[in-house]
Structure 1
Amino acid sequence: MADGIRQDALTDRVYESVKAMVMDHEIAPGARVSIEGLARQLDVSATPVREALARLESERLVVKRANAGYRATDLLDSDALLDLFEMRLLLEPRAASLAAENASDDELRQLRSLVEEMHRQPDLGEKYSDYRRFAALDQEFHDVLARAAGRPLLADAVNRLHAHLHMLRLNSAPGSVDATVAEHQHILDALVQRNPDRAADAMARHLRSSRVRHRPQPSARGRAASRRVPTGGTPRRRPS
């Protein structure tokens, strides 16, 4: 049992390390990912690296190519970002409307707890390690709300977008923290009031504001990343 726990902890540590490299562009967008190179860099065997990459593939941060190993996925361009938000605007306001009708008291408590914890997060830096917890809370808020809608296929569709990860790779931090938390609070207020129309409207306004905050833009991190040599590949400049 102890060996299994240690192995799980090692796999989680390797996963978080490689994920941070992808999010911070230490592994450049589009670059080949070397399992052996990562194993040497992290001083582990190849097994936890393979397991980490399989998890990252499910999040669409890396892609596995036949007979060619893994590579980091490309960044969203402006058209792909627009597609992502159009999909979210189709799904998430509807989920919020249904959640206002169907959310259990426990789910509302979960959402309130998430908003309160987001309020307590410290000032965020530019590295993924600085804003990882805030990003996880942000994603969990949307996932819990989608589940509260009572429509499993809808919740699964929202979760599978992995929208936050792909947006955060475009910029160096999650945008305006205060604005994000305030918008989540407006959504929560509408859910607590059991007001479907207001909940849908609050979610739509949140997504439109988020679309503006996450427009691709040059950053210090992006410029630095373009000069790094990624694991197993050559540097690539982020799109303008």
Structure 2
Amino acid sequence: MAEPRPKLERAPRLMLRETVYESVKQLLMDTDLQPGTRLSIDGLSRELQVSATPVREALFRCEAEGLVVRRPNAGYLVAPLLDRQGLLDLYDLRLLLEPVAAARAATHATAGEVRAMEDAVGLMMPAVEGDDYQAYREFAGQDTALHTTIAGASGNPLIAETLTRLRTHTHTYRLYFHHGIAEVTVAEHQAIVAAIREHDPEVAEKAMRAHLETSRTRLLSAYE
């Protein structure tokens, strides 16, 4: 007896959920919605021409990323921006963890992990072709992949887990992004990866620290 043909319902549903999630996320990233603005699930459903379920799931995911907050009797609200002190605190923690991770990666990274780092850096520049979230999403994806790979290559899973929870790239975009920082950022990343490839922990640590310090300086301009 022939086996029954598998159902094909799940893939379209997953595709719909992902599409709605990206649409809601782009709305939060690219519009001038003020922190505290109430988000209507019904209103978003009508705008996107979908049921309430994928919108509710999208907002749940956005909450996990720190883009929205949920309040009793108020529903979902646009999350507050990271303030200046919050940014400084974020980078204080990154400066404690990521230079150490880079140094350890220079000792422990496998050839495959180094290739993954090189691939991420190579894909960063062509990914940025505009000043909106749609363009930045591709750049940030490679940036996240690079930093995640370095943290993973450190051999310390707690470092990788902690950095993931920081939601660094979400905060970064909401504060400040424009076409033109990509080139200098890629150069900084190239220096980090080169040191890891050459198995030089000291240079890798210094390169990561320099990258984070200059990144912090760039972002502080958002408060001027």
Query: Normalising by structure 1, what TM-score?
Result: 0.86
The CA distance in 2 between the partners of 1:22 and 1:158, in whole Å, is: 23
The CA distance in 1 between the partners of 2:72 and 2:36, in whole Å, is: 16
Q: Note if 1:195 corresponds to 2:204.
A: no
| Greater helix proportion | 2
> Hey, what does 2:88 align to over in structure 1?
82
Q: Note if 1:50 corresponds to 2:56.
A: yes
The CA distance in 1 between the partners of 2:149 and 2:37, in whole Å, is: 33
Give the one of 123, 130, 133 matched to 1:117.
123
Aligned CA distance change for structure 1 residues 216 and 4 (closer, same or farther; 3 Å): farther
Percentage of pairs with the same residue:
45
Structure 1: which 5+ residue stretches go unaligned? Answer: 218-238
> Hey, what does 1:9 align to over in structure 2?
15
The CA distance in 2 between the partners of 1:127 and 1:121, in whole Å, is: 12
Q: Is the 8 A contact 2:102 2:201 kept in 1?
A: yes
> Hey, what does 1:236 align to over in structure 2?
none
Q: Note if 1:103 corresponds to 2:109.
A: yes
The CA distance in 2 between the partners of 1:8 and 1:109, in whole Å, is: 30
- Amino acid in the other structure paired with 2:165: R
- Amino acid in the other structure paired with 1:176: I
Q: CA deviation at 1:30?
A: 2.4
> Hey, what does 1:228 align to over in structure 2?
none
Q: Which has the larger radius of gyration?
A: 2
Q: CA deviation at 1:32?
A: 1.4
Q: Is the 8 A contact 1:171 1:214 kept in 2?
A: yes
> Hey, what does 1:186 align to over in structure 2?
191
Q: CA deviation at 1:25?
A: 3.0
Q: Which moved more, 1:79-88 or 1:58-67?
A: 58-67
Q: Is the 8 A contact 2:125 2:139 kept in 1?
A: no
> Hey, what does 2:4 align to over in structure 1?
none
- Amino acid in the other structure paired with 1:189: A
- Amino acid in the other structure paired with 1:128: Y
Map Cα deviations across residues 4-55 of structure 1 (whole Å, 9 max, x no partner): 1111000000100110111113433221111111111111001001111111
> Hey, what does 2:3 align to over in structure 1?
none
Q: Is the 8 A contact 2:128 2:179 kept in 1?
A: no
Q: CA deviation at 1:97?
A: 1.1
Map Cα deviations across residues 182-202 of structure 1 (whole Å, 9 max, x no partner): 000000011011111111110
Q: Is the 8 A contact 2:128 2:139 kept in 1?
A: no
Aligned length: 218
Q: Is the 8 A contact 2:121 2:186 kept in 1?
A: yes
- Amino acid in the other structure paired with 1:54: F
Q: Note if 1:69 corresponds to 2:75.
A: yes
Query: Normalising by structure 2, what TM-score?
Result: 0.92
Q: Note if 1:165 corresponds to 2:170.
A: yes
Q: Note if 1:138 corresponds to 2:143.
A: yes
Q: Note if 1:59 corresponds to 2:59.
A: no
The CA distance in 1 between the partners of 2:132 and 2:34, in whole Å, is: 15
SS of residue matched to 2:220:
coil
SS of residue matched to 2:9:
helix
The CA distance in 2 between the partners of 1:115 and 1:29, in whole Å, is: 33
The CA distance in 2 between the partners of 1:175 and 1:88, in whole Å, is: 23
Q: CA deviation at 1:174?
A: 6.5
More relative contact order, 1 or 2 (CA 8 Å, 6+ apart) = 1
Aligned CA distance change for structure 1 residues 174 and 62 (closer, same or farther; 3 Å): farther
Structure 2: which 5+ residue stretches go unaligned? Answer: 1-6
Aligned CA distance change for structure 1 residues 60 and 13 (closer, same or farther; 3 Å): same
